[in-house]
Amino acid sequence: MLHHIFDTHAHYDDERFDGDREAVLASLPSKGVHAVLNAACDKKSCLTSIELSRSYDFIYASVGIHPHSADEFSESDTELLAGYTKLPKVVAIGEIGLDYHYDFSPRETQKLVFERQIQLALELDLPIIVHDREAHADTMELLQKYRPRGILHCYSGSAEMAKEILKLGMYIAFGGAVTFKNARKTLEAAAAVPLERLLVETDCPYMTPEPLRGTRCDSSLIAYTAQKLAELHGVDPQQLLDRTCKNAYEVYQIAE
């Protein structure tokens, strides 16, 4: 069985796990899951992510305000978030970024809130977890301005943009989308990312890989994603999982 799965981006506080959260989480270690980062997206999920990290040895948390919730951010929240990062298993600021697909918050607000949280991460010397959906140019502009450490999550940009992100020293994470039939552009990008900067993730309960697309996702299904990425890089899936697990420890600065 494949092991050393480090799911660098999950949402186990999502309501789709309300019926069986404890059973799902308890089963993960026996399915090869080594660690999980539960990513916050609003103030409420900062707390639930922290709670999960307290309840399970293998779960870590990030804290941050997602672009969808940018409207709820105020300056005093930087202190709130900074306070949370003093907790031992809070290892990143995220997920933060820009989403011009849904535009749930005005773009100007999204940009201000993203920028403020990048500044916070730099002050705290923490990595960021970036959500970029159909906002590549503005995302790159802010990343190049500040050069933060961290991760481009659920990467959907081009291979060219991936190279620019790698130049900044950042890591790039891929999920179930690499197994989809229309994944050509994403696969080109994934091939351009060297193994030492590659990460795997689910974004569960969303983005379930093929052949299970349409069902609820959990971290064990990274096995399918790893299979695809390993093929692309000409290594075996376990080698890919070993390396991406090591990378996750590096980017989140977790002592092994």
Which residues would be at the binding site for Zn ion (CB under 5 A)? 203
Q: CB of residue 211 vs Zn ion: minimum separation in angstroms? A: 23
Q: CB of residue 11 vs Zn ion: minimum separation in angstroms? A: 6
Cβ nearer to Zn ion, comparing 41 with 193: 41
Cβ nearer to Zn ion, comparing 132 with 242: 132
Q: CB of residue 228 vs Zn ion: minimum separation in angstroms? A: 20
Q: CB of residue 10 vs Zn ion: minimum separation in angstroms? A: 8
Cβ nearer to Zn ion, comparing 77 with 99: 99
Q: CB of residue 9 vs Zn ion: minimum separation in angstroms? A: 6
Cβ nearer to Zn ion, comparing 91 with 230: 91
Cβ nearer to Zn ion, comparing 5 with 40: 40
Cβ nearer to Zn ion, comparing 11 with 111: 11
Q: CB of residue 163 vs Zn ion: minimum separation in angstroms? A: 24
Q: CB of residue 129 vs Zn ion: minimum separation in angstroms? A: 8
> What's the 3-state SS for the chain?
CCCCEEEEEECCCCHHHCCCHHHHHHHCHHHCEEEEEECCCCHHHHHHHHHHHHHCCCEEEEECCCHHHHHHCCCCHHHHHHHHCCCCCEEEEEEEEEECCCCCCCHHHHHHHHHHHHHHHHHHCCCEEEEEECCHHHHHHHHHHHCCCEEEECCCCCHHHHHHHHHCCCEEEECHHHHCCCCHHHHHHHHCCCHHHEEECCCECCCCCCCCECECCCHHHHHHHHHHHHHHHCCCHHHHHHHHHHHHHHHCCCCC
- Residue that has been written with the tokens 């943009």 in this structure: 161
Which residues, in sequence order, are CB contacts of 210 under 8 Å at separation 6+?
176, 179, 180, 181, 224
Reference 124, options 69, 82, 185; nearest CA is 82
Q: Which residue in the shown chain puts its C-beta closest to Zn ion?
A: 203
Cβ nearer to Zn ion, comparing 151 with 230: 151
